[in-house]
Chains A and B, each alone.
Chain A
């Protein structure tokens, strides 16, 4: 991108950058603070009680080895909540290890003669801790806090997966939209933030050191003034974060930290983390904003199906677009229903009973999985159906989304239905999958039928000649409670019903994926062109 457009891009995103940076600092600050409050006492217990040492350090060590996304998913399942709280808990758990370990190391490193003297002159155990052991191990403990805080800044970028905001939100959106600029907008400030956090705690360490300043009287005076300031830098940083957050949050539509929108006048719309979902989310959001008095809170980019469904079930979001095939097989764990109408009826019935939720009328398109190859390969090797792959599958490399690799209606079922056996199967991010096949790193991918990139990358979907894939009719799902409170929502959202056929959806996806336009703009343009935004009174 040329310099000018970078500047334009930045200045346009600046308010949100502030907000996300503020959120990021608050996530890191709160979790590191909790880890300090928890970790130091735990470290003291470990140092005092020999039989607690192994279990405690081992326990926090194991926490550290849980992959971050898995940790977030587990917490989401346990707490039945999305947003800042599970993110903070996860970050706190990660930050515990360096703090507990360094507290233990610090306390054990206090020299024995000094400890003996402390005992011998008549200090109580508590006085020994506060007057001698603690101050002497402080440098080591603060070093642990420093490690914890810097690691937190990094891991906090993942909390955007569960709607906790922060700079990861840009990265997530960038990944979902294959938009490098957005990824950089999250990644670069996150790296800078890590450096700043590290620096501020380093300064604080310097401020903690009690040494007579050497050198001139002038130098000593400067030291005396600067030390307390340096000591408080990390606190100042957190306050700055709160300030950045609160000064911009009113301007933004979806603050992750804001008061929960349960005023009864707000509809919370969620999406999964890919382009089509973002467009559908925007379409529904803008319709509701234009045609009702309700407010909309956008909780977009919520990881995969399970995270989105978890948020929906627990009331974290009220409305999102789901696919009948996905709901049937991945959520309800039922077998495939080939007839689209019957599939919709079945999921609607099950959702009403099990999740107190309603399926509204479908948008119209069927975003089924499409086993896809390069057009050149299709022509050259005469490939038209999935069956045509059977003979050569042993020589092909496949790149699938992680979800497809695991879902029963994905690769496991497909392999059985067709007897396919690829030479290699790689799990790829949806955004990277298209890049990988274009770059000839894989030969087969699990594309989405409505994906704009199929045309853009010159790819050829293969026909599902054995009818393995169920229909993936997209439709809005809404919590019954919300629908009852605002019955007008049905009519408004169903304005979209049947209006988005495969070709239309593919075109909208193309606008975002390939032309790099914003989902909000593309959605707006579509709604306007169909005259759906005028509010009839």
Chain B
């Protein structure tokens, strides 16, 4: 379980807050979607969770232990992270990219290789074709799959995914969403998934946390949020796509 208690983060010494007094729990095995428009503090929240950033106040606990008291390097190796900009290592093959965390953990070359091939299968890339390629020889969707593979490599209990499908076309995004759902079934991970796309949030999230300007507006299952929006902002947020659907639904 990951739990945030009154977490705040300011980049300018307390004048403005990118994350403002946020508290919620991520339950064991669930997929929690952080939903919010650009700049509302989603990425900042994820980075705080694996200590790429340090919080200004509040505490974050992973498995009941305050992360501020843990070694940040060990912590990061226990938490899989799919980055918003993917950030594959351009000078390494797909196989080497995926096997990076195992390498940091000191696995043997043979074990790393087996694991990399297994993971490529898991994320839907044929190892025979792709293992020896370099990132620039892959499409955007394939790169994103490698990014997911890299995050899963050391079999972490937690997976943080920062708009992983944000830069992809609608069709590819849909495929990858479906695959993520089936992956979730098989792997039983606790996932924090960041998106600005309402439909993606509804499709993937066991629960959804709506963020606005650094504050948590509401957290709950899709039914709770759709039926009982806690704030004006949440109501407006979900009303807009409904209106759009009403306008174009007939034509589609």
The DSSP consensus for interface residues of chain B is: mixed
Q: Answer whether residue A120 sits at the interface, using C-beta atoms and an 8 A cutoff.
A: yes
- Minimum CB–CB distance from B181 to chain A (whole Å) comes to 24
Q: Mark B37-73, 1 if CB is under 8 A from A, else 0.
A: 0000000000100101000000000000000000001
In the complex the two chains form, is B85's CB within 8 Å of A122's CB? Answer: no
Q: Which residue of B lies closest to A125 (CB)?
A: B73
- Chain B neighbourhood of A123, CB < 8 A: 73, 104
- Minimum CB–CB distance from A140 to chain B (whole Å) comes to 13
Docked pose: A43 CA to B148 CA in angstroms: 34
In the complex the two chains form, is A124's CB within 8 Å of B87's CB? Answer: no
- Minimum CB–CB distance from A134 to chain B (whole Å) comes to 10
Q: Answer whether residue A416 sits at the interface, using C-beta atoms and an 8 A cutoff.
A: no
Q: Of A114, A135, A210, which is within 8 A of B87 by CB?
A: A114
- Chain B neighbourhood of A135, CB < 8 A: 91
Q: Which of A169-209 contact B (CB under 8 A)?
A: none
Docked pose: A124 CA to B87 CA in angstroms: 17
In the complex the two chains form, is B85's CB within 8 Å of A116's CB? Answer: yes
In the complex the two chains form, is A117's CB within 8 Å of B83's CB? Answer: yes
Docked pose: A121 CA to B84 CA in angstroms: 13
- Chain A neighbourhood of B84, CB < 8 A: 113
In the complex the two chains form, is A113's CB within 8 Å of B83's CB? Answer: yes
- Chain B neighbourhood of A136, CB < 8 A: 90-91
Q: List 22 A-B contacts (CB under 8 A).
A: A111-B87, A112-B85, A113-B83, A113-B85, A114-B87, A116-B83, A117-B81, A117-B89, A119-B52, A120-B52, A120-B81, A121-B77, A122-B75, A122-B76, A122-B77, A122-B101, A136-B91, A210-B134, A211-B134, A212-B132, A212-B134, A212-B137
Docked pose: A121 CA to B90 CA in angstroms: 15
- Chain B neighbourhood of A11, CB < 8 A: none
In the complex the two chains form, is B77's CB within 8 Å of A120's CB? Answer: no
Q: Answer whether residue B213 sits at the interface, using C-beta atoms and an 8 A cutoff.
A: no
In the complex the two chains form, is B90's CB within 8 Å of A114's CB? Answer: yes
In the complex the two chains form, is A121's CB within 8 Å of B132's CB? Answer: no
Q: Of B47, B74, B83, which is within 8 A of A122 by CB?
A: B74
Closest 8 pairs between A and B when the two form their complex, measured CB to CB: A117-B87, A113-B85, A122-B76, A122-B77, A113-B87, A120-B81, A135-B91, A114-B87
- Chain A neighbourhood of B74, CB < 8 A: 122
Q: Answer whether residue B115 sits at the interface, using C-beta atoms and an 8 A cutoff.
A: no
Q: Answer whether residue B194 sits at the interface, using C-beta atoms and an 8 A cutoff.
A: no
In the complex the two chains form, is B77's CB within 8 Å of A132's CB? Answer: no
Knowing A119-B52, A121-B76, A122-B73 touch, does A210 contact B91 (C-beta < 8 A)? Answer: yes
Q: Answer whether residue A56 sits at the interface, using C-beta atoms and an 8 A cutoff.
A: no
- Chain A neighbourhood of B101, CB < 8 A: 121-122
Q: Which of A110-159 contact B (CB under 8 A)?
A: 111-124, 127, 131-132, 135-136
Docked pose: A115 CA to B83 CA in angstroms: 11
Q: Answer whether residue B145 sits at the interface, using C-beta atoms and an 8 A cutoff.
A: no
- Chain B neighbourhood of A111, CB < 8 A: 87, 90
A-B interface contact total, Cβ < 8 Å = 67
Number of interface residues of B (CB under 8 A): 27
- Chain A neighbourhood of B151, CB < 8 A: 121
Q: Which residue of A lies closest to B73 (CB)?
A: A122
In the complex the two chains form, is A116's CB within 8 Å of B52's CB? Answer: yes
- Chain B neighbourhood of A127, CB < 8 A: 104
Q: Which of B125-163 contact A (CB under 8 A)?
A: 132-134, 137, 150-151
Docked pose: A120 CA to B90 CA in angstroms: 16
Docked pose: A135 CA to B100 CA in angstroms: 15
- Minimum CB–CB distance from A217 to chain B (whole Å) comes to 13
- Minimum CB–CB distance from B115 to chain A (whole Å) comes to 15
A interface, size bucket: 20 to 34
In the complex the two chains form, is B91's CB within 8 Å of A120's CB? Answer: no
In the complex the two chains form, is B133's CB within 8 Å of A212's CB? Answer: yes
- Chain A neighbourhood of B50, CB < 8 A: 120
Q: Answer whether residue B204 sits at the interface, using C-beta atoms and an 8 A cutoff.
A: no
- Minimum CB–CB distance from A244 to chain B (whole Å) comes to 37
In the complex the two chains form, is A132's CB within 8 Å of B83's CB? Answer: no
Q: Which residue of B lies closest to A127 (CB)?
A: B104
Q: Which residue of A lies closest to B74 (CB)?
A: A122
Q: Answer whether residue B192 sits at the interface, using C-beta atoms and an 8 A cutoff.
A: no
- Chain A neighbourhood of B100, CB < 8 A: 121, 131
Q: Answer whether residue B26 sits at the interface, using C-beta atoms and an 8 A cutoff.
A: no
Docked pose: A117 CA to B143 CA in angstroms: 14
Q: Mark A425-461, 1 if CB is under 8 A from B, else 0.
A: 0000000000000000000000000000000000000
In the complex the two chains form, is A116's CB within 8 Å of B104's CB? Answer: no
- Minimum CB–CB distance from B107 to chain A (whole Å) comes to 14
In the complex the two chains form, is A113's CB within 8 Å of B86's CB? Answer: yes
Docked pose: A136 CA to B135 CA in angstroms: 14
Q: Which residue of B lies closest to A123 (CB)?
A: B104
Q: Which residue of A lies closest to B151 (CB)?
A: A121
Q: Which residue of A lies closest to B84 (CB)?
A: A113
Q: Identify which of A118, A121, A123, A135 gathers the most chain B CB atoms within 10 Å of its CB.
A: A121
- Chain A neighbourhood of B83, CB < 8 A: 113, 116-117, 120
Q: Answer whether residue B32 sits at the interface, using C-beta atoms and an 8 A cutoff.
A: no
Q: Answer whether residue B88 sits at the interface, using C-beta atoms and an 8 A cutoff.
A: yes
- Chain B neighbourhood of A116, CB < 8 A: 52, 83, 85, 87
Docked pose: A119 CA to B86 CA in angstroms: 13
In the complex the two chains form, is B137's CB within 8 Å of A121's CB? Answer: no
Docked pose: A112 CA to B74 CA in angstroms: 22
Known: A114-B87, A114-B88. 13 other contacts (CB 8 A): A113-B87, A114-B89, A114-B90, A116-B83, A117-B88, A120-B50, A120-B76, A121-B101, A122-B73, A122-B74, A122-B76, A127-B104, A135-B91
Q: Which residue of B lies closest to A134 (CB)?
A: B91
- Chain A neighbourhood of B87, CB < 8 A: 111, 113-118, 120
Docked pose: A132 CA to B97 CA in angstroms: 11
Q: Of A122, A210, A211, which is within 8 A of B104 by CB?
A: A122
Q: Which residue of B lies closest to A135 (CB)?
A: B91
Docked pose: A123 CA to B50 CA in angstroms: 13
- Chain A neighbourhood of B132, CB < 8 A: 212
- Minimum CB–CB distance from B139 to chain A (whole Å) comes to 16
Docked pose: A117 CA to B50 CA in angstroms: 12
- Chain A neighbourhood of B81, CB < 8 A: 117, 120-121
Docked pose: A210 CA to B90 CA in angstroms: 10
